Amino acid sequence: MQIELAPLQLPDFGLPSVEPRIPAATYEQRLQKLHLHAAGWNFDAVLVYGDREHYANMAYLTGYDPRFEEALLILTHERDGFLEQLFSRTAPAGWKPVRARTPVLLVGNEGWGYTEISPIKLERILYQNFSLPGQPRDRSKSLESILRAQGITAGSKVGVIGWKYDESDTTTYTNWLDIPAYIADTLRAIVGTEGQVLNLTPALIDPVNGQRIINEVDQLAAFEFAATQTSQAVRNVLFGLKPGMTEFDAVRLMGLNGLPHSVHLML
């Protein structure tokens, strides 16, 4: 075997100038598919919890990612409307969409204005207990009254989507929840012994059947845009490193442009 050490020219493809946006129709199809799944398992409502570290499921469904506080997405549908032909122009052939109500998004004080980032119609509800400590809490109804107003009552079957589930038993929906206790306790108190509050996270992230394992072309374009930014940042570091440079100096070479990170910056 002959080994050669030789200089190589790394191609420079440049950076895209326009960030792809996922259209509202794509988010609506995702929501409709989740509604169809929930209806098939006789769920009356689906709640999606999100915070700064665990926002992917909420962002996937709405385009809204909690930046400062927690958030709660509430999805409900009409039981007598499973065959209503909503989204018939954009839904895949053979779909039988449910009659979904407008998604409800609970946010705190700082999240209120930021909800405008979502391209879909959302009903916003201010729940100030999601706000940071020391901020006003004088204009919110209780979590119980908000949930009851969305049709969650005694005997309801509620699916909860956090960010993980009990992988020791992936064949059934379990009582294992990974959301704040005050939300889980309130839900269980409302539905009572005749109802159920179950983990529905596998519907989105199960590695075989999860909804999120299939990426639409719109999502692929968004991922590729983010990937080019990351690749360029790594390139900047590799070509800018010098003897004696500190990690802090090396990170400055990345030239990051303010896009939100999926994880904390590492070098």
User: Could you report the per-residue pLDDT of 32-73, keeping only the tens digit for each?
Assistant: 999 999 998 999 999 999 999 999 999 999 999 998 899 999
Most confident of 5-14, 32-41, 145-154: 145-154
Pairing outcome for strands 196-199 and 123-126 = unpaired
Q: Are 159 and 179 in contact (CB under 8 A)?
A: no
Residue partners of 267: CB distance under 8 A and separation at least 6: 237, 247, 250, 251
Q: Are 105 and 122 in contact (CB under 8 A)?
A: yes
Residue recorded with tokens 């209120």: 112
This prediction has a pTM of: 0.88
Residue partners of 165: CB distance under 8 A and separation at least 6: 174, 176, 178, 199, 201, 202
Extract the tokens encoding 41.
Answer: 């398992």
Extract the tokens encoding 39.
Answer: 């209806």
